[in-house]
Amino acid sequence: MANLDFWFDFASTYSYPAVMRIAPLAATAGVAVRFRPFLLGPIFKAQGWDTSPFNLYPAKGRHMWRDLERLCADHSLPFRRPDPFPQWSLLPARVAQVGLAEASGEESWGEESWGEEFCRSVFRAQFGEGRRIDDIATIGDILAQLGVDGDAVLAAARAAPIKARLRDETQEAQQRGIFGAPSFVTGDGELFWGNDRLERALAWAARGG
Amino acid sequence: MANLDFWFDFASTYSYPAVMRIAPLAATAGVAVRFRPFLLGPIFKAQGWDTSPFNLYPAKGRHMWRDLERLCADHSLPFRRPDPFPQWSLLPARVAQVGLAEASGEESWGEESWGEEFCRSVFRAQFGEGRRIDDIATIGDILAQLGVDGDAVLAAARAAPIKARLRDETQEAQQRGIFGAPSFVTGDGELFWGNDRLERALAWAARGG
């Protein structure tokens, strides 16, 4: 089956429509998608940025917020601008690694995989409800709703293997030439950047890329 | 009739597919489009950039060239990466102002309007054939092919009214919050940035925006 790596950061605005849209589109295209959350912070830092470019360049930021609002309306996604922005995405990124590691069969915290649904829930909480994703209460609520053992998952998220896994993922993203999120990488190494490239990336993957 | 302002810079890479695609899409959508070439240089300078962000951020630049090549293939547009990049767009921008001023009835150098076709020819020369658009020979060839009096047009392009017009257009772009190209502004002031927003901008305009 054709496959596609889906790289995103939990603080990334345009990753919100991408994470909410990708599963049904991928099913239709016949493409298996792997969720790969990483941290944009170290990559931005290497480019000389200490915060989001949407904060560094106010005109770009104004357009982005309005554009995201329009996109969410078009896709019938709830939208509420988070404050502060960007949020610190380390905690949800580590927790997601726990769920996604389980899905890939490396670990097990329950009978069903909850990694992808956790990712969607975090984005919905942040950009749909204006909740803080760097707040352990938000993450705990989401885990409870997913029916997983929050204490065990949070302990695993803070342990060395998951910390290392997230660092490795971030390093791999940078090595693959990723400079923003969301990004999509096909099996043959084609890089597509941006929610607005999601359909093209799936089509490329489906053609055997 | 619904209308849309189409702002672009002749050196802007993603303005190439936008300028080549907009006329038939606008006709289908029932939207009247006004071509408004301006200079991104002063706007980038105000953001602290002395060249294209695609040069300042190499990973972003690598993705853009590959993405543009893929887009051109999808739209059956010829593509050749120009060297150097970005090119100095002052000369074609001033000449375009002559043609577009004529089209709007302010001036007259011939029986037919040639402004929009000139814009398409400049982009085709630069991104389809790899020609230099800061070379007066390229601009002269294009004017000759369009059947207009090149000497008269070039003289007008260098005269004070056209220089002032281009300065005013660039200033208006900045005042409207434009920070990149291509950009689209609807009658009700909605700003859309990027070739990938062209269809949405037309739809917004057609809905009465």
What was the pLDDT predicted at A13? 98
What total number of domains does chain A contain?
A: 1
Flag if B70 and A200 touch (Cβ within 8 Å).
yes
Report residue B11 as tokens: 């050196």
What was the pLDDT predicted at A107? 53
Rounded to whole angstroms, the Cα distance separating B109 from B99 reads 8
**CB contact at 8 A, B66 and B96:** no
Residues of chain B contacting A177 with CB distance shorter than 8 Å: 59, 62-63
pTM above threshold 0.80: yes
What was the pLDDT predicted at A111? 46
What was the pLDDT predicted at B66? 98
What was the pLDDT predicted at B111? 46
Backbone φ and ψ of B144, nearest 5°? -65, -45
- Tell which of A13, A43, A49, A67 to mutate to test the B interface (max B CBs under 10 Å): A67
What is the chain B residue with the closest CA to A198?
Answer: B196
CB proximity A60 to B under 8 Å: yes
Q: H or E element: which one contains B148?
A: none
CB proximity B200 to A under 8 Å: yes
Nearest residue to B169 (alpha-carbon basis) of B32, B2, B7 = B7
Rounded to whole angstroms, the Cα distance separating A51 from A64 reads 15
What was the pLDDT predicted at A47? 84
Largest CA distance in chain A: 47
Nearest residue to B96 (alpha-carbon basis) of B112, B118, B113, B111 = B118
> In this structure, what CATH number is given to the domain that contains residue A111?
3.40.30.10
Rounded to whole angstroms, the Cα distance separating A162 from A137 reads 20
Which residue segment(s) compose the domain that B121 sits in? 2-206
User: Which mean pLDDT values do the consecutive 10-residue runs of chain A (209 residues) have?
Assistant: 95 98 97 97 89 92 98 98 95 97 60 86 98 97 96 97 97 96 97 98 93
Given a cut of 70, the residues of chain B with pLDDT beneath it are 102-112
- What is the dihedral sign for C-alpha B196, B202, B205, B207? negative
